[in-house]
Amino acid sequence: MSSVYDNITILDFTNNVAGPYATGMLGDFGANIIKVERPVRGDDTRGFAPQIDGSGFVYWWYNRGKKSITVDMNDPRGLDLLKQMIPKVDVIVESFRPGVMKKFGLDYESAQALNPNVVYCSVSAYGQTGPNAKKPGYDLIAQAKAGIMDYNGFPDMPPCQTSFVFGDLLGGVYGAYAIAQALYYREKTGEGQYLDLSLVDALVSLNNNVEGYSALKKSFKRSGAHHNQVCPYGVFSGKNDSVVICAPNDRLWGIILDLAGKPELKSDPALSSGAQRCAHRSRVIDIIEGWLKTFDNIQDAVDAMEKAGIPCSKVMTGADLCDDPALVARGMIADFQPPADVTSVTDMKGRGVVVHMSKTPGHIGRPPMLGQHNDEVFQTFGFNMDEIHALQKEWNEKYAK
């Protein structure tokens, strides 16, 4: 069965999460991803904790299905190898700070001179233009700069980061989206183009505080575990676990009261509308949590609510996800192979392909060992392998010091 990107080769200069996630998503659908890594050390995430058999597992999923080659980009001979590869690839993706690729002679203009129809994507914290472009940046800074952090947390506490690297992840999704669009445009016109993707821009695109402040001259503020405009709509605690309940209209609120054994409160003026329930949110929380705490197992409360038609869910843990029958049935939790040099983990589960395509389904490949595909890739590109082996030996000795 053919894949969407069967004939697409991507030269991947990305590091950490955002860029690797973008290329990894394209690799799920058949793109040939050649990941360029530093000799000996590789991508930063290879060294992240926790590690298994000396391998940082953060690296694994974001670099699934890729081919790893090692090149010393501080050696002109290494840069010459890469420049000879550029005419034979379709896409270049990089995540250096703006200006770094130009120093290497691998920026868009240089790449376009070698390959006029190349699609070239730069992923950075602030983008390639504007007053912040040259500043260093990470996901945490992007969350702060985009106003996401101000919206996250509890009203009586300082702003809070999202525990996931949300800017990196969204940047990866937008990166894959942008590359797919550029490839479609090239299919129609024969023309490549340059893509400038900023993590801050990606997060700002989700922040409805922009229009809210512009129109109302006020910002929506942190509301903790509960929505600040509808109620009940949030996280509620039972004896041992928590559950999310979404009952934002009068009908669903009435069902909650029936389940809680308090049908008489349907006529209480203080709880009679969504606005009133928001105004008396603490009372609503007390009613619901008082009922939830009558259950020794929160799943029994979830089952009762689902049977009655209340949208709800237990707050899932990592252990819950790996065994969740619905996710397994969807293929979102699937068998996953770590790099071949990791031997102490067997029967591992990982995240599956997020988009289900009927004619061109995706596949989660195995992440590479560092430099695993040096011989395969360089031979495919027609290089003299004796020279490649000599270079690799020299670089490995240099970076092992």
- Give the Å distances, CA to CA, from 322 to 62, 297, 328, 354, 364: 18, 20, 8, 15, 16
User: Nearest CA to 240 among 175, 301, 159?
Assistant: 301
User: Nearest CA to 129 among 197, 219, 184?
Assistant: 197
Residue 177: helix, strand or coil by DSSP?
helix
Cβ burial of 319 (10 Å; 0-12, 13-18, 19+) is exposed
Does the annotation count 363 as an active-site position?
no
- From the candidates 226, 227, 373, 389, which is the catalytic residue? 227
- CB burial of 198-231 (b: ≥16 within 10 Å; e: otherwise) equals bbbbbbbeebebeeeeeeeeeebebbeebebebb
Q: How far apart are CA 321 and CA 296, in angstroms?
A: 21
User: Nearest CA to 87 among 120, 70, 112, 105?
Assistant: 112
Place of tokens 């690297």: 165
User: Nearest CA to 280 among 290, 269, 289?
Assistant: 269
What does residue 10 show for φ and ψ, rounded to 5 degrees?
A: -115, 130
Residues 6 or more apart whose CB falls under 8 angstroms from that of 398 comprise 39, 72
Residue 189: helix, strand or coil by DSSP?
helix
DSSP 387: H
Q: Which residues are catalytic?
A: 227
